[in-house]
Copies of this chain bind each other. A is one copy, B any other.
């Protein structure tokens, strides 16, 4: 790898924002108007994606895991910085595939690449993206805005991450495996709904139960979830199966609290915030003991 050549050939074509000055400078100028938020997520080969995953899908996943955080805050994505630690043994063709996947998602989601770094590594491919977002209202919708009595709601289905990971290992060509490699994430419309309706909001990435507990804790209240109301990727009446899907990570759905009388477009009510602390589960009106592991603990 000659970093300068690869930057010119593969990365500069992705850079269109004026403040980036075509990567000819040490820094980029952020296009700041209105409240700007920022997130940073890293993917490591063998930890967050499989060594066998096609790199175009890895590029897309990198954008999406970061974008999901921005959307969950009621914001639209704006600009990104990309750091690539590239294993010496991987080919230029693979690098091109990574960049093609990145470009596809950056373009689809209207994100401007404005800078970053490219270095060699004697180890696993390691990717870090920093993504900024412009809030659709005065500031980000925090995890901490929930109050007892508010409804708990989620958009889309829970469990695709877990089903997809199993499929990626056993049947890599399946549709479910593709959903592991390139997770479906929320739309900018969902971000607008968050801005309009949500009191508290977060990205569900470590498992519904653990993330619901975190939202409640940040909001200094408790939470109860009616498991039969949770939309599942694999519908089932088996409580153990339901809990597996509700404790697996990589779902990238948005979990919010909202005033109880609101009809929130695209979101399904699955529970409510409570005065009593902690997480309580029910299934068809019967109390259920929370599993010992609520989700992916880093």
| Shortest distance from the beta carbon of A9 to any chain B beta carbon, whole Å | 13
Q: Is A231 part of the contact surface with B, judged by Cβ < 8 Å?
A: no
Count residues on chain A whose CB falls below 8 Å from chain B CBs.
Answer: 60
| Separation of A28 and B116 alpha carbons in the complex (Å) | 19
| Shortest distance from the beta carbon of A47 to any chain B beta carbon, whole Å | 6
Q: Is A186 part of the contact surface with B, judged by Cβ < 8 Å?
A: no
- Could you say which of A92-100, A138-146, A163-171, A271-279 contacts chain B? A138-146
A143 adjacent to B36 (CB under 8 Å): no
Given contacts A37-B30, A120-B44, contact A130 B130 (CB under 8 A): yes
| Separation of A81 and B132 alpha carbons in the complex (Å) | 12
Mark out the residues of chain A between 7 and 61 whose CB falls within 8 Å of any chain B CB in the assembled complex: 7, 21, 24-30, 32, 35-42, 44, 46-48
A115 adjacent to B40 (CB under 8 Å): yes
| Separation of A43 and B31 alpha carbons in the complex (Å) | 27
Question: Residues of A at under 8 Å CB distance from B?
Answer: 2-4, 7, 21, 24-30, 32, 35-42, 44, 46-48, 69-70, 72-73, 75, 81-83, 85, 114-124, 126, 128, 130, 132-133, 139-140, 142-144, 202-203, 218, 297-298
